[in-house]
Structure 1
Amino acid sequence: MADGRAPAGVRCMLMRGGTSKGAYFLASDLPADDAARDDLLLRIMGTPDPRQIDGLGGAHPLTSKVAVVSPSADDGADVDYLFLQLGVDEAFVTDRQNCGNILAGVGPFAVERGLIAPSQERTSVRIRMINTGSVATATFATPSGIVDYDGDLAIDGVPGTAGAISLDFEGTAGSSTGALFPTGAVADDVDGVPLGSAGPGSDRIRVTCVDNGMPTVLIRAADLGLSGDEEPEVLEGDEQLKQRLEHIRFAAAERMGLGDVSEATVPKMVLLSAPREGGAIATRSFLPHRVHTSIGVLGALTVAAGVLPEGSVGHELAAIPEPGHPFVIEHPTGHFDVDVAVSSAGDGRSVERSAALRTARRIFDGTVYPRPRL
Structure 2
Amino acid sequence: MTQTEIPFLFMRGGTSRGPYLNRADLPEDLESLAQVLISIVGSGHPLNIDGIGGGVAVTTKVAMLSKSEDEWADVDYFFAQVSVEDCLVDFKPTCGNILSGVGPAAIEMGLVAAQDGETAVNIRAVNTEARVAAVVQTPGGKVSYEGDAQIDGVPGTSAPVALQFMETVGGVTGAFLPTGNLVDVIDGNAVTCMDVAMPMVIAKASDFGLTGYESAADLDENRSFFAKMEALRIKAGALMGMGDVSESVTPKFGLLAPARAGGTIATRYFMPWNTHPTMAVTGAQCLAACVLTPGTVAEGMAAKPNETPAPITLEHASGSIDVMVDYAQTDAGFEVISAGLIRTARKIASGSVFVPQSVWAGV
Normalised by the length of structure 2, the TM-score is: 0.96
Question: C-alpha offsets along residues 17-75 of structure 1, whole Å, 9 cap, x if unaligned?
Answer: 00000110001111222222211111111111111011100000100000010010211
Q: Residues of 2 paired with 1:237 and 1:175: CA distance?
A: 32
RMSD: 1.4
Deviation at 1:372, TM superposition (A): 6.8
Deviation at 1:14, TM superposition (A): 0.5
Partner of 1:63: 59
Comparing 212-221 with 322-331, which one deviates more in the overlay?
322-331
> Is structure 2 residue 277 aligned with structure 1 residue 281?
no
The reply to whether residue 335 of structure 1 matches residue 331 of structure 2 is no
Q: Structure 2 residue aligned with 1:143, among 139, 144, 147?
A: 139
Map 1:207-356 → 2, pairs under 5 A: 207-323=191-307, 326-356=311-341
Q: What is the distance in 2 between the residues matched to 1:372 and 1:290? A: 33
Match of 1:199 in 2: none
- Do the aligned partners of 2:310 and 2:326 also contact (CA within 8 Å) in 1? no
TM-score normalised according to structure 1 size: 0.93
2:344 corresponds to which of 351, 359, 368: 359
| Distance of 1:325 and 1:254 partners within structure 2 | 32
Gaps of 5+ in 2: none
**Partner of residue 94 from structure 2, selected from 98, 120, 124:** 98
Deviation at 1:128, TM superposition (A): 0.6
**1:317-351 Cα distance to aligned partner (Å, 9 max, x none):** 11323425520000010000000133334334311
- 1:189-246 deviation per Cα after TM superposition (whole angstroms, max 9, x unaligned): 12x2xxxxxxxxxxx2101111111001110000111111111121111221111101
Q: Is the 8 A contact 2:168 2:338 kept in 1?
A: no
In the alignment, the residues of structure 1 paired with residue 109 and residue 155 of structure 2 have an alpha-carbon distance, to the nearest angstrom, of: 27
**Tell me, which stretches of 5 or more residues in structure 1 are unaligned?**
193-203
Does residue 1:51 correspond to 2:47, yes or no?
yes
CA–CA distance in 2 between the matches of 1:339 and 1:207? 24
Equivalent in the alignment of 1:114: 110
One-letter identity of the residue aligned with 1:277: A
After superposition, what is the alpha-carbon deviation per residue over 1:63-103, rounded to whole angstroms, capped at 9, x for unaligned? 00000100102112111100000010110111111100000
Where does 1:14-33 land on structure 2 (aligned, <5 Å)? 14-33=10-29
Corresponding residue number in structure 2 for 1:83: 79
Aligned to 1:123: 119
Judge conservation of contact 1:64–1:85 (CA < 8 Å) in 2: yes
**CA–CA distance in 1 between the matches of 2:146 and 2:13?**
14
Q: Aligned partner of 2:323: which letter?
A: V
Query: Distance in 2 between the 1:261 and 1:292 partners?
Result: 19
